[in-house]
Structures are given as C-alpha cells and as structure tokens.
Amino acid sequence: MEGGRRLITAHDAGLTAWAASSGACLPGLVLARPGSALSALPPHGPAVVQAAMLPVRPCLPTFARFPPPGPDWLHEIKHDGYRMLALRDGERVRLVSRYGVDWTHGFPAIVAAVEALAARNCLIDGEVIACGGDGLADFQLLRRRQHADPAILCAFDLLGLDGHDLRGEPIEERKAELARLLVDCRPALALNRVFDGPGPAVFEHACALGCEGIVSKRHGSRYATGRSRDWLTVKNPAALAVRPGQEGRRALGETSTLIFRPAGESRPDDYSVIHKGQRVGRIYRMHSTDRELWYWTEIGARAPNTGLADTLEAAETAFLRAWDAQR
C-alpha cells in the first residue's frame, strides 16, 4: 500500500468485480502491482544452507481435482513463483526456500521491506513472484530477472510475531495479524487476498483470468507441518505452469530444440523431453517422499546427467543447462 492506496493485480481486479456482483465477502488485500518487462539475464544465485536451519517445516497443500464447495473454506490465488519463508530476528532478515536454499541476497528489496516492518521479529510464509504487464505472476520473468529487478513476496501466513508462536492459532487470526503487520508496507511485500465465496466459483474466475489455480484452506485450521488436508490446491489445467501450450507441450527455453510434453492424463506429474522426435529425457515428481521433489534425467547413449529439484521449473532449468553444456 502506497499513500493509503490499494495496489491490486489485474487478476485480482477481475475477481473483485465478480465478488462485488455476487455479494461475496473479501476480507483480504492484494498489494502486488504489475511489473515491467524484465531482462533475460540469469538471477543472482542463491546459497544453500542446512535444512536444519529452516525455522519451521512449511505446510504443503494436498492436490485436489475440484475445489471444495462448502462454506468451511477460504480461498486464495495460487501464484507461480518461489515458496519462501521470511524470517526477521532483530536487525537480521533471511529469505529461505522450503528446502533450505538461502535467497536473502537475491531479493534485496524484499529484505528491506521486511526490515521496515513494525516488529522485532516475525516469520512470514509466502510466495516470491514477478508480475508481467497483465498483472499475473510470471515464473519466466522471475527466473530471468536481474539482481535489482522487482519481485514481490506475496504473503499468505504469519507463523510468529514478536516472540509469539502463532502456528497453533486459527488461520483467520493469523491472517488478521498478518494484515495488521503489512499495513503501509513497502511495495516489495504483498498480502494475498482471501475469497470467502464458493470454491468452484472462485476457481472458475481464477481460470478465466489465466491464474495458475487456487489454494483452499479450512476455516479454523492450525498451521501444520508437511502435507495437510486442511490446505487443498486445485490447478488450472490451461495455465502455463500446469500444462504449457494448448496441446500440453512447449520448447524448453526460447531457442531450444527440446520439447517438454506430459507423459499422459493418467500420469500428471510425469513429463518427457523430446529432441527431433526422440525421447531424450524424463522429469517426474517423486511421490515416495514427504516433500515435493522433482527428478530429472537424460535418456540415451550419452552418460546420463541426473538431479533433483524442488520445483518442476527448476528441474526443467537444470535439464536444459546439462543438455546445453554438452553441445
């Protein structure tokens, strides 16, 4: 919020118009604003810290095919970015991903915004995003940004404040505290709007506006660690982050000859990498762990490159780099 004005994204404006016409209650704000086109240079690299240094184990939503229809849920836009915990302890601020990657030096404006909050210490859960000219979070802009290019921490939960552990408090109280904390915050921080309307209606309008999907959270729920049934995520099947391109396939990289294609409807988290009609790689989510991990591997006569990543997009990037390094 700048000068007492609300800053909302294009997709939020569309949902707000729908809510106003339907009489839905909207108890949250979105402070994010669209960013300009960003450079294609690589981001300032993160540092890896020990997983034990994570202040908490983040709550993860359970994947659902349909949004819950009943009144026991609140709903938020699912943004396409980096899941991030912002930890302030006195004068020190750290930005740490859900798997312990330290991004503090990668987003200086967000760090400065957290430093400016009226709190001695706090722990904020959110998503770092970069917005395109249409107001939607654009993961490609985020991945290609330079060190000083704009990014926003879209905050959706407050786990601790001034020595008080809030994880056992109902979600409504945590969000109310978060809203108070972020009043008049700097533009690099945003409060993710909450929609109390029917889940299917919120999801329909989110999809129509091109959003990645929604996350539905049960009223009165506490902050859990790991995967939770109190948080449900439903993804827009037409969104780029879910099924790139109209036919579910696209090139990896702007000038790449690699094609990224879903393996099939029955395997939504399994993707093939195609080069000149031949399958040269595979990227899939490992379901045997209690955390979201993506495994990527080359297939073929060459000595295979393999690796793990904590997002599908990161696995794509790692595969492309390994492929290009041998060209």
User: In the prediction, which pLDDT does 54 show?
Assistant: 60
Alpha-carbon gap, residue 98 to 101, rounded angstroms: 7
∠ CA(91), CA(97), CA(99), 5° rounding?
125
70-86 in b/e form (b: 16+ CB < 10 A) is: eeebbbbbbbbbbbbbb
Q: Which two tokens stand for residue 42?
A: 């690589």
User: In the prediction, which pLDDT does 269 show?
Assistant: 76
Report whether 177 contacts 141 (CB < 8 A). no
Q: Which two tokens stand for residue 79?
A: 């943004």
User: In the prediction, which pLDDT does 268 show?
Assistant: 65
- CATH number among 3.30.360.10, 3.40.50.2000, 3.30.470.30, 3.30.450.20, domain 10-55+72-198: 3.30.470.30
Alpha-carbon gap, residue 271 to 308, rounded angstroms: 14
Can you spell out the DSSP letters for 274-327? EETTEEEEEEEEETTSSS-EEEEEE-SSSPPPEEEESSHHHHHHHHHHHHHHT-
User: In the prediction, which pLDDT does 43 show?
Assistant: 36
Residue 206 φ/ψ, nearest 5 degrees: -65, -40
User: In the prediction, which pLDDT does 34 show?
Assistant: 27
Q: Which two tokens stand for residue 41?
A: 């240079």
- Residues annotated as catalytic are 78
User: In the prediction, which pLDDT does 291 show?
Assistant: 65
User: In the prediction, which pLDDT does 12 show?
Assistant: 46
Q: Which two tokens stand for residue 277?
A: 């009609």
∠ CA(111), CA(116), CA(122), 5° rounding?
75
Report whether 90 contacts 132 (CB < 8 A). no
User: In the prediction, which pLDDT does 210 show?
Assistant: 85
User: In the prediction, which pLDDT does 186 show?
Assistant: 94
The verdict on pTM exceeding 0.85 is no
Which H helix or E strand runs over 227? strand 226-235
Taking the chain (327 residues) in consecutive chunks of 10 residues, what is each chunk's mean pLDDT?
33 44 34 26 38 70 89 92 92 86 88 96 94 80 75 95 94 96 94 91 89 93 93 81 41 58 68 80 74 78 73 81 71
User: In the prediction, which pLDDT does 16 show?
Assistant: 44
| Model confidence pLDDT, tens digit, residues 266-319 | 566 788 888 777 788 888 887 665 567 888 888 865 556 788 888 887 888 888
| Model confidence pLDDT, tens digit, residues 39-49 | 222 333 444 44
